[in-house]
């Protein structure tokens, strides 16, 4: 694919990455199975920030979930590539602007009318109790800020999921669970010597293991962000922006 970054994959997943990249959707001319599949995966991964935005607009839980389903059904059928270009090819901006327009159009429809009942739907996972609680805790945030915070958290969650999968495939699931604790703040962080005793490793070996862990985490983070921008050169700007969102709280 022209313009795509070269992705190394110890597990041979380079092709899987290439076919789920946002640029597959953007570069597709007309209907393409690869583009439809890529958009479906991206939507399924990042639907929760959109749900949070809908809730902040005053929609009830089930109503918001139904609306997001309908929104994705329309998105899968009608991609507006001119709108993508206006949003500089960022999936985050494109989806939020598209959802805002969708909400405006839906408010002009008769209430209770079901839409796209026969159209393509993406199966969305149920929200966990912890996510419902978080929406309540962040009720002081504006709808846009809540969306951006949930988007940044979704990116980080996806990175950790992929990293955990790699460690468990190598029978290092327990090591992953311990090393990921170093990604949080100082409070509650275990000492490397303690992990060494628990895992039967020297403190120096733990230090080296975390160095490799952090390097792989950073690589996957940039790769995950690359899923959501059109050009490889946009990755660093998007990364800096998402970090600023998380730091703002």
Any domain includes 122: no
Domain count for the chain, please give it: 1
Is residue 86's pLDDT more than 50? yes
Query: For 35-53, what is the mean pLDDT?
Result: 86
Looking at residue 106, its pLDDT comes to 80
Report residue 110: phi and psi, to 5°: -65, 135
Looking at residue 82, its pLDDT comes to 64
Looking at residue 25, its pLDDT comes to 78
DSSP string, 49-118: HHHHHHHHTT--HHHHHHHHHHHHHHHHH---HHHHHHTTTBHHHHHHHHHHHHHHHHTTSPTT----TT
Query: For 144-169, what is the mean pLDDT?
Result: 94
Any domain includes 190: yes
pLDDT in tens, 106-132: 875 645 455 544 445 556 665 555 555
pLDDT bin (cut points 50, 70, 90) of residue 44 is: confident
Other C-beta atoms lying within 10 Å of the C-beta of residue 111: 6
Inter-residue long-range contacts of 52-57, CB under 8 Å, 24+ positions, other chains counted: 52/135, 52/143, 52/146, 52/147, 52/150, 53/96, 53/99, 53/143, 53/144, 53/146, 53/147, 54/99, 54/103, 55/135, 56/141, 56/142, 56/143, 56/146, 57/103, 57/143
Location of structure tokens 């839409």: 115
Query: For 208-228, what is the mean pLDDT?
Result: 94
Average pLDDT, the chain: 78
Query: For 73-97, what is the mean pLDDT?
Result: 78
Looking at residue 135, its pLDDT comes to 55
Looking at residue 81, its pLDDT comes to 62
- Supply the range of the domain harboring residue 24: 14-113+133-248
pLDDT bin (cut points 50, 70, 90) of residue 138 is: low
Looking at residue 175, its pLDDT comes to 92
pLDDT in tens, 4-25: 333 333 444 444 555 667 877 7
Looking at residue 15, its pLDDT comes to 42
**Considering the chain, what percentage of its residues have pLDDT values greater than 90?**
31
Is residue 219's pLDDT more than 90? yes
Any domain includes 118: no
Q: Is the pLDDT higher at 197 or at 26?
A: 197
Any domain includes 6: no
Lowest mean pLDDT among 149-163, 176-190, 209-223: 176-190
């Amino acid at each position: 694919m022209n313009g795509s970054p070269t992705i190394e994959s110890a597990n041979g997943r380079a092709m899987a990455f290439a076919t789920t990249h946002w640029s597959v959707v953007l570069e597709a001319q007309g209907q393409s199975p690869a583009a439809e599949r890529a958009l479906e995966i991206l939507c399924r991964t990042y639907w929760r920030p959109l749900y949070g935005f809908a809730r902040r607009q005053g929609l009830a839980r089930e109503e918001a979930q139904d609306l997001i389903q309908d929104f994705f059904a329309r998105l899968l059928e009608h991609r507006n590539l001119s709108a993508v270009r206006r949003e500089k090819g960022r999936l985050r901006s494109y989806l939020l602007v598209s959802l805002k327009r969708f909400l405006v159009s839906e408010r002009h429809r008769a209430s209770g009318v079901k839409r796209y009942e026969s159209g393509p739907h993406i199966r969305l996972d149920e929200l966990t109790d912890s996510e419902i609680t978080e929406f309540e805790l962040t009720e002081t945030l504006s709808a846009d800020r809540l969306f951006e915070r949930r988007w940044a958290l979704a990116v980080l969650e996806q990175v950790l999921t992929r990293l955990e999968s790699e460690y468990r495939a190598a029978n290092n699931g327990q090591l992953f669970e311990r090393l990921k604790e170093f990604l949080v703040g100082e409070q509650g962080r275990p000492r490397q010597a303690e992990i060494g005793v628990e895992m039967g490793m020297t403190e120096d070996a733990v230090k080296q293991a975390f160095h490799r862990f952090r390097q792989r985490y950073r690589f996957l983070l940039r790769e995950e962000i690359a899923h959501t921008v059109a050009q490889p050169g946009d990755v660093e700007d998007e990364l800096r922006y998402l970090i600023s969102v998380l730091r703002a709280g």
